[in-house]
Amino acid sequence: MMTNVTFLNPGFFWFFLIIPIVIAWQIWQRRQLTATLKMSSLKGFKAKPSFLTKLKPLLFIFRILALSLIIVAMARPRTVDISSQTKTTKGIDIVMAIDVSGSMLARDLKPNRMEALKVVAAEFVKERPNDRIGLVVYASEAYTKTPVTSDKAVVLDALRSVKYDNVLADGTGIGMGLTTAVNRLKESKAKSKVIILLTDGVNNSGFIEPETASDIAKEFGIKVYTIGIGTNGMAEFPYAIDARGNFLFKMMKVEIDQELMKSIAAKTGGKYFRATSNKSLATIYNEINKLETTEIEELKFYDYDEKFRPFAIAACALLLLEIGLRKTVFRSFI
């Protein structure tokens, strides 16, 4: 059984309008060829019609069926199998540089800044299936947690494992984080290179100035989107650890060097954002996702399977059968 059948030349179906005309012509012609003889009695001519006489109308039916099949064959029925293939024509390499200093445990975002960021950043990674993404973490120093890769599972695992620990000395080295991210992208052959730099404080550590790092990013054609995370005013910050290893919190003023972050973004062609809540943080990543779009080319392949041949063969068979019967079995009939 044929499914998903299409017709290349559906206009030929208009020829079906000829068939009623052919049938009417056949009936009229048959009547014209039939002679009429008036007799007073038919007793001497009574006889049952022969079996062949009953079958002779089949010849005309065969011809009509053959004509119908020819029309269908001319309409070119066929099935099509469509397969598609996507090709990334403009890939983007992205490095997320995340501040992991102790202040990222502040509770102005829920449950804290770091955990809120991890949830939003994970969704961002999932929505970039055609791009390569890397991960850099920094405090007073910085290191690459994941180099740029197309394996999103690796990036997501690395993101889930991000936490505050003693691997990096506490502090905020924005220049260190940005420089490390630039090193991950400077050799990239991607059409677009992007760094998403997030911090919740002011630059107070590291031996590379943020301005110098932004100059390097600009030189390599890397766009930097900067995000300052933290509410306006006061927030609960960790300030000490008790005897059982638990953080102690107190209300402290939120300080973010917004002028520095705006300068870095403007110099590299990026944009600065301020996230004061979980919702605004999610909105920021959604906006960056829309700003940095990857061009995808979709290639579709059509595999046509022509189905007109069975109709043409059947039409020829019926015509041959009709001609053969007319020239042999029904030869003696008028």
- 36, part of any domain: no
Looking at residue 93, what is its pLDDT?
Answer: 93
Q: Say yes or no to pLDDT of 86 above 60.
A: no
**Nearest one of 213, 212, 226, 209 to 269, comparing CA atoms:** 226
Q: Which one has a higher pLDDT value, 266 or 330? A: 266
- 20, part of any domain: no
Mean pLDDT, all residues of the chain: 86
Task: Determine if residue 135 is left, alpha or beta; phi over 0 gives left, psi from -120 to 50 gives alpha, anything else beta.
Answer: beta
Residue 72 shares a structural domain with residue 146: no
Looking at residue 264, what is its pLDDT?
Answer: 97
Q: Say yes or no to pLDDT of 129 above 80.
A: yes
Residue 68 shares a structural domain with residue 199: no
For residues 110-138, average pLDDT: 95
Looking at residue 49, what is its pLDDT?
Answer: 57
Model confidence at 34, pLDDT cuts 50, 70, 90, reads low
- 19, part of any domain: no
Residue 127 shares a structural domain with residue 255: yes
User: 3-state class of 259 per DSSP?
Assistant: helix
Lowest mean pLDDT segment, chosen from 269-273, 290-294, 297-301: 297-301
Q: Which one has a higher pLDDT value, 89 or 178? A: 178
Question: What is the percent of the chain with per-residue pLDDT over 90, rounded to a whole number?
Answer: 51
- 206, part of any domain: yes
Instruction: Report how far residue 94's alpha carbon sits from residue 87's, in angstroms, rounded to the nearest whole number.
Output: 19
Looking at residue 307, what is its pLDDT?
Answer: 86
Q: Which one has a higher pLDDT value, 48 or 320? A: 320
Instruction: Report how far residue 172's alpha carbon sits from residue 316's, in angstroms, rounded to the nearest whole number.
Output: 86
| Total number of domains in the chain | 2
Beta strands in 112-233 (DSSP E): 132-138, 142-149, 192-199, 222-229
Residue span of the structural domain in which 130 resides? 87-297
- 130, part of any domain: yes
Q: Say yes or no to pLDDT of 44 above 60.
A: no
Looking at residue 133, what is its pLDDT?
Answer: 96
131-184 pLDDT, tens digit per residue, is: 999 999 999 999 999 999 999 999 999 999 999 876 667 789 999 999 999 999
207-229 pLDDT, tens digit per residue, is: 999 999 999 999 999 999 999 99
Q: Say yes or no to pLDDT of 251 above 90.
A: yes
Residue 135 shares a structural domain with residue 228: yes
Model confidence at 79, pLDDT cuts 50, 70, 90, reads confident
Looking at residue 53, what is its pLDDT?
Answer: 64
Q: Say yes or no to pLDDT of 296 above 60.
A: no
Looking at residue 108, what is its pLDDT?
Answer: 95
- 18, part of any domain: no
Residue 312 shares a structural domain with residue 229: no
Instruction: Report how far residue 105's alpha carbon sits from residue 113's, in angstroms, rounded to the nearest whole number.
Output: 6
Residue 69 shares a structural domain with residue 104: no
Q: Say yes or no to pLDDT of 68 above 60.
A: yes
Residue 249 shares a structural domain with residue 311: no
Looking at residue 283, what is its pLDDT?
Answer: 96
Looking at residue 318, what is its pLDDT?
Answer: 87
Q: Tell me the CATH number at 189.
A: 3.40.50.410
Supply 32's token pair. 């014209």
Say if CB 112 and CB 105 are below 8 A apart. yes
One-letter identity of residue 89: T
- 8, part of any domain: no
* Residue whose tokens read 């208009």: 14
Say if CB 141 and CB 173 are below 8 A apart. yes
Residue 246 shares a structural domain with residue 326: no
- Alpha carbon separation from 148 to 109, 144, 155, 156, 184 (Å, rounded): 28, 10, 9, 12, 7
Cα diameter, the chain: 133
**Nearest one of 315, 304, 314 to 7, comparing CA atoms:** 304
Residue 331 shares a structural domain with residue 210: no
Residue 100 shares a structural domain with residue 64: no
Residue 257 shares a structural domain with residue 124: yes
258-276 pLDDT, tens digit per residue, is: 999 999 999 999 999 999 9
Looking at residue 268, what is its pLDDT?
Answer: 97
- 46, part of any domain: no
Residue 195 shares a structural domain with residue 62: no
